Amino acid sequence: MSYQARFRVWRGDEAGGELTDYEVEVNEGEVVLDIVHRLQATQTPDLAVRWNCKAGKCGSCSAEVNGRPRLMCMTRMSTFSPEETVTITPMRTFPVIKDLVTDVSFNYEKAREIPSFQPPEGVAAGEYRMAQEDVQRSQEFRKCIECFLCQNTCHVVRDHEENKAAFAGPRFLMRQAELEMHPLDARKRRAEEAQEEHGLGYCNITKCCTEVCPEHIHITDNALIPLKERAVDRKYDPLVWLGSKIRRRTG
Amino acid sequence: MSADTETNRQSDSSTLPPQRRPPGGVFSPRRAALTVRHLRTDRWWLPPAATAAGLLAFIVYATWRAFAGSHYYSEPYISPFYSPCLASSCPAMPGGARWPIFGSWWPLSPAVIILIVPLGFRMTCYYYRKAYYRAFWSSPPACAVAEPHATYSGETRFPLILQNVHRYFLYLSTIVAVILTWDLVLAFRDKHGSWGHAGLGTLVLLVNAGLLWTYTLSCHSCRHIVGGRLRHFSKHPVRYKLWGWIGVLNNRHMLLAWTSLFMVGFADFYIYLVSSGAFADPRFF
């Protein structure tokens, strides 16, 4: 079944922009990115959009569809009624470059601030041995496709530009949690670093990062809250502190 | 080309940022120029509104019952709002948790003393934090809906940094859950103290205790303490297994939070009805 759908697409750049209306054909089985491509092909060849795999695995086509952070390639048109006007805007947390393309370099800067995996002393590369049950928790976090929808929707930076310097965002706090739980990572104080240097305390666990994750990673429940609990262990819990002084445990 | 350009057509004044708020957040200069707080077309306001209504209803009811100080004991049932009963004004409860640590100088209802524990546990619970930050503080009201506050410091400073005491309320709540389980055991008596009997009130207390235990055990802090804090599950197989089981409950933490909240209120209300004589407790055996 084909029909003519109404679309509103944000067009512009850093200097300003506007929502522009289009009418465009929609066919059965299509996704929002297909429609954006049809717009480029038939009506507005200068419409800027970032995309790559069209399979929900590259994380390139992040945008906001009807105000909800989504991958355009994974948003089926069948979820909208033919009468509905579909609004597409770029991610609203990052500076816009042109049309639907944003400058996501904030995320790369934050990625560089997370200390990388630190191998244990005396174990050479190639000699790492880990039990499956020890690594499977952090393997969930490796599903991340770096679409940055969680970074985009997190109100700590979305609604407060001034917090960008102090807050790493859910994606990179999850990276810190992944390494904190890693059975071979030798770096100490990752939970304290998360709290003191990467802004873990800004997270008020309202779970928007989890809601928008296209990989369905339980960011809040499995990464951020466990990281908060580890920070409590080391910074705020006198009983755990006392226990660690009496009996050294490596866990 | 069928383009019909209309600049900022959605600039409804109700969606504009507060007048005194500096341009920031989604209105920051380098971001996509949109004058609206959000573009969501679904009923995003419904979950926070329902949450606020549910929590307010419970707060109103619990405040009334906690300060009432009457109709909370009808042998063999004690209301979960009043157990353990720590004031000397508590009636005699054969075998029950009546420990008058607070003497006759305590002027208020005994419930006010003990309710601090479940209140603190739920106030600092990771699920309820999400619920009331969204419902009462609009921080944020919903995902991708701009919050109204000019600044935000989250849980980095006083008073919200105190949320980190959650695990201590977990410890205290576990003790309360044990006591409520003992109250359930006592409910297998009849009015004369003979064992081997049960009534509808017993069933109510049984469901209440079950939901309180599953809510308490499904807590994120409990999950962390039982096994989440470990780095090598392979060295602690028992704790690993327990962590997995608690993880199953933890996936339903929101459901358990609401059902246990409703049930504890209902259990209290049931005992209020029985104690005040408005309803005769049907006995099964």
Looking at residue B7, what is its pLDDT? 40
Nearest CA in chain A to B126: A205
Residues A12 and A117 placed together within one structural domain of the fold: no
Instruction: Note the pLDDT tens digit of each residue in A20-30.
Output: 999 999 999 99
Residues A88 and A119 placed together within one structural domain of the fold: no
Structurally, chain A folds into a number of domains equal to: 2
How far is CA A191 from its chain centroid? 20
Structure tokens at B62: 């619990």
pLDDT band at A248 (very low <50, low <70, confident <90, very high): low
Contacts with A163 from chain B: Cβ below 8 Å: 152
**Contact present, B17 and B145 (Cβ < 8 Å):** no
Contacts with A153 from chain B: Cβ below 8 Å: 143-144
CATH assignment of the domain containing A209: 1.10.1060.10
Contacts with B2 from chain A: Cβ below 8 Å: 22-23, 43
In a domain, A218, yes or no: yes
Residues A171 and A219 placed together within one structural domain of the fold: yes
Instruction: Find out whether the peptide bond into A69 is cis, omega within 30 degrees of 0.
Output: no
Looking at residue B11, what is its pLDDT? 40
Phi-psi region of B85 (alpha: psi -120 to 50; beta: other; left: phi over 0): beta
Residues A139 and A80 placed together within one structural domain of the fold: no
Choose the mutation target among A4, A11, A19, A190 for the interface with B, i.e. most B CBs under 10 Å. Answer: A19
ipTM over 0.90? The verdict is yes
End position of a domain, from candidates A86, A102, A118: A102
Nearest CA in chain A to B142: A208
In a domain, A153, yes or no: yes
Structure tokens at B31: 């971001």
pLDDT in tens, chain B (285 residues): 344 443 443 344 344 555 555 567 899 999 999 999 999 999 999 999 999 999 999 999 999 999 999 999 999 999 999 999 999 989 988 888 999 989 889 999 999 999 999 999 999 999 999 999 999 999 999 999 999 999 999 999 999 999 999 999 999 999 999 999 999 999 999 888 899 999 999 999 999 999 999 999 999 999 999 999 999 999 999 999 999 999 999 999 999 999 999 999 999 999 999 999 999 999 998
Contacts with B232 from chain A: Cβ below 8 Å: 131, 134, 183, 250-251
Looking at residue A243, what is its pLDDT? 82
**Contact present, A101 and A50 (Cβ < 8 Å):** yes
End position of a domain, from candidates A102, A126, A154: A102
In angstroms, the CA B66 to CA A130 distance is 53
Q: B13: burial class by Cβ within 10 Å (0-12, 13-18, 19+)?
A: exposed
Looking at residue B21, what is its pLDDT? 55
**Contact present, A157 and A165 (Cβ < 8 Å):** no
Average pLDDT (A149-166) is 97
Q: Quick one: what percent of chain A has pLDDT higher than 70?
A: 98
CA atoms lying within 13 Å on the CB side of residue A24: 28
Residues A38 and A124 placed together within one structural domain of the fold: no
Residues A57 and A156 placed together within one structural domain of the fold: no
Looking at residue B76, what is its pLDDT? 93
- The shortest C-alpha distance from B55 to chain A (Å) reads 17
DSSP letters spanning A123-141: --TT-----HHHHHHHHGG
Looking at residue B223, what is its pLDDT? 98
Q: For strand A101-102 and strand B4-5, is the pairing parallel, antiparallel, or unpaired?
A: unpaired
Query: Considering only A29-43, A118-132, B232-246, which range has the smallest mean pLDDT?
Result: A118-132
Structure tokens at A235: 């910074």
**Contact present, A210 and A217 (Cβ < 8 Å):** yes
Residue-number span of the structural domain to which A217 is assigned: 105-246
More confident position, A171 or B18: A171
pLDDT band at A125 (very low <50, low <70, confident <90, very high): confident
**What letter does residue A223 receive in the DSSP assignment?**
I
Residues A116 and A226 placed together within one structural domain of the fold: yes
Q: From the DSSP assignment, how many helices (H) and strands (E) are in chain A?
A: 10, 7
Residues A18 and A112 placed together within one structural domain of the fold: no
End position of a domain, from candidates A83, A102, A121: A102
Beta partners for residue B239, in sequence order = none
Residues A150 and A233 placed together within one structural domain of the fold: yes
Average pLDDT (A227-237) is 93
Residues A96 and A112 placed together within one structural domain of the fold: no
User: Which strand (E) or helix (H) includes residue A11?
Assistant: strand A3-13
Looking at residue B23, what is its pLDDT? 66
In a domain, A251, yes or no: no
More confident position, A158 or B7: A158
Structure tokens at B14: 């109700």
User: Which strand (E) or helix (H) includes residue A9?
Assistant: strand A3-13
Looking at residue A39, what is its pLDDT? 98
Contacts with A237 from chain B: Cβ below 8 Å: 164, 167
In a domain, A202, yes or no: yes
Angle at A216 between CA A78 and CA A94, to 5 degrees: 85
DSSP letters spanning chain B: ---EE-TTTT--GGGSPPTTS-S-GGG-TTS----SS----S-TTHHHHHHHHHHHHHHHHHHHHHHH--S-EETTEE-GGG-SEEETTSPP-TTS-EEEEE-TT--S-THHHHTHHHHHHHHT-HHHHHHHHHHTT-SSSBTTB--S-S---TTSSTTGGGGGGHHHHHHHHHHHHHHHHHHHHHTTB-TTS-BS--BHHHHHHHHHHHHHHHHHHT-HHHHIIIIIT-S-GGG-HHHHHHHHHHHHHHTTHHHHHHHHHHHHHHHHHHHHHHHHTSS---B--
- With an 8 Å Cβ cutoff, are A20 and B126 in contact? no
Nearest CA in chain A to B17: A159
In angstroms, the CA A233 to CA A191 distance is 9
Looking at residue B1, what is its pLDDT? 39
Nearest CA in chain A to B155: A201
**Of the candidates A250, A171, A161, which has an alpha carbon nearest to the alpha carbon of residue A208?**
A171
Residues A26 and A60 placed together within one structural domain of the fold: yes
In angstroms, the CA A239 to CA A37 distance is 59
Structure tokens at B109: 């209802």
Q: For strand B77-78 and strand B73-74, is the pairing parallel, antiparallel, or unpaired?
A: antiparallel
Residues A132 and A176 placed together within one structural domain of the fold: yes
CATH assignment of the domain containing A39: 3.10.20.30
- Whether chain A has a CB inside 8 Å of the CB on B220: the answer is yes
Q: Quick one: what percent of chain A has pLDDT higher than 90?
A: 91
Nearest to A226 among B143, B160, B228 (CB): B228
Looking at residue A241, what is its pLDDT? 78
In a domain, A124, yes or no: yes
- Please give the mean pLDDT across all residues of chain A: 95
In a domain, A188, yes or no: yes
In angstroms, the CA B133 to CA A206 distance is 7
In angstroms, the CA B271 to CA B264 distance is 11
Within A56-213, residue ranges assigned H as helices are 105-113, 132-139, 149-153, 155-158, 170-181, 190-196, 208-212
Instruction: Note the pLDDT tens digit of each residue in A98-116.
Output: 999 999 999 999 999 999 9
Looking at residue A204, what is its pLDDT? 96
In a domain, A179, yes or no: yes
More confident position, A204 or B14: A204
In a domain, A219, yes or no: yes
